[in-house]
């Protein structure tokens, strides 16, 4: 929650106290954080801290799991192997193929777990904020995939082949070919990276906003006759949190699945 929402809790604002809901209602301010400190004009805030801690948590987990691997794995190694193998076989191999996809497994596994932990901060106490609900983070990750996809396309097919790949060139289309090529060109080079980023951002943004809304409403209604409504709102908070757990994993999976689909499209021969 943002500072103003926490202040509303501290001031004991309830529905029958003459306190308007507009003073505590969630909005865009719920996604704005004051800088924790500033160094040379660079502002470091809560989302950056969570992204850093998430990265360290992933590194620490896999280092602890695979730093001293055993033939008969322990519990931690088994969990890490299961997660790694799920992405490698269930996403990379299934989408790109074993032969072509093996070299991209480290990238896709890293992307999956990074996106997942960034989403997971939403339901972790004290953090309680999904980093990917800030558009710059999904946009940065989508840009990595986009640059890789474009560079692979040019490397594999050359300039002419890449142009055909980007535009969906198919001479059998006849008179509609120019229009189809124009649509495909803008769809692939402009719309694709945008939708790749926004799909993740929008789901995490909406999910966090709903959880914040029901949480604040539970507190706001916790007075007089509003207690019954507060109970319903609190129940919705629990339900939405459980649902968010599912969505967080699904969105991480969808993000890397699309990344693999783009890579596969770059490597595939154009007919």
**Cβ–Cβ < 8 Å for 129, 122:** yes
Q: Return d(Cα 173, Cα 80) in angstroms, integer.
A: 48
In this predicted structure, what is the pLDDT of residue 260? Answer: 96
Phi, psi of 221 (to 5 degrees): -85, -5
Look at 15 and 136; give whichever has higher pLDDT: 136
Q: Indicate the number of domains in the chain.
A: 1
249: pLDDT confidence band, cut at 50, 70 and 90? very high
State the pTM of this model: 0.87
Residue with tokens 């890293």: 110
Angstrom distances, CA of residue 265 to CA of 149, 152, 178, 186, 257:
8, 10, 21, 16, 12
Quick one: the chain helix, strand, coil %, rounded to 5? 80, 0, 20
**Cβ–Cβ < 8 Å for 45, 29:** no
**Cβ–Cβ < 8 Å for 72, 97:** no
**Cβ–Cβ < 8 Å for 121, 50:** yes
In this predicted structure, what is the pLDDT of residue 175? Answer: 86
Q: Return d(Cα 47, Cα 38) in angstroms, integer.
A: 14
**Cβ–Cβ < 8 Å for 263, 152:** yes
Query: The domain containing residue 40 runs over which residues?
Result: 3-267
Q: What pLDDT digit, counting tens, does each position of 3-59 carry?
A: 444 444 444 666 655 555 555 566 677 788 888 888 877 888 999 999 999 999 999
């Amino acid at each position: 929650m943002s500072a103003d929402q926490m202040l509303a809790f501290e001031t004991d604002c309830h529905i029958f106290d003459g306190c308007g809901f507009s003073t505590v209602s969630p909005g865009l301010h719920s996604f704005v954080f004051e800088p924790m400190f500033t160094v040379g004009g660079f502002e470091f805030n809560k989302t950056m801290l969570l992204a850093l801690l998430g990265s360290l948590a992933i590194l620490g987990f896999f280092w602890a799991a695979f730093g001293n691997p055993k033939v008969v794995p322990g519990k931690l190694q088994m969990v890490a192997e299961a997660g790694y193998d799920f992405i490698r076989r269930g996403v990379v191999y299934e989408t790109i193929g074993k032969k072509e996809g093996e070299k991209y497994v480290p990238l896709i596994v890293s992307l999956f777990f990074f996106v997942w932990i960034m989403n997971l901060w939403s339901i972790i106490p004290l953090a309680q904020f999904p980093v990917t609900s800030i558009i710059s983070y999904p946009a940065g990750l989508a840009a990595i995939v986009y640059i890789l996809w474009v560079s692979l396309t040019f490397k594999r097919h050359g300039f002419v082949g890449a142009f055909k790949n980007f535009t969906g060139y198919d001479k059998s289309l006849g008179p509609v070919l120019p229009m189809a090529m124009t649509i495909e060109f803008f769809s692939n080079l402009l719309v694709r990276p945008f939708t790749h980023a926004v799909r993740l951002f929008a789901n995490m943004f909406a999910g966090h906003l709903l959880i914040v809304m029901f949480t604040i409403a539970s507190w706001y209604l916790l007075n007089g006759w509003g207690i019954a409504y507060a109970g319903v709102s609190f129940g919705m908070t629990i339900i939405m949190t459980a649902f968010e757990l599912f969505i967080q994993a699904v969105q991480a999976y969808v993000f890397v699945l699309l990344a693999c689909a783009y890579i596969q499209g770059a490597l595939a021969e154009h007919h």
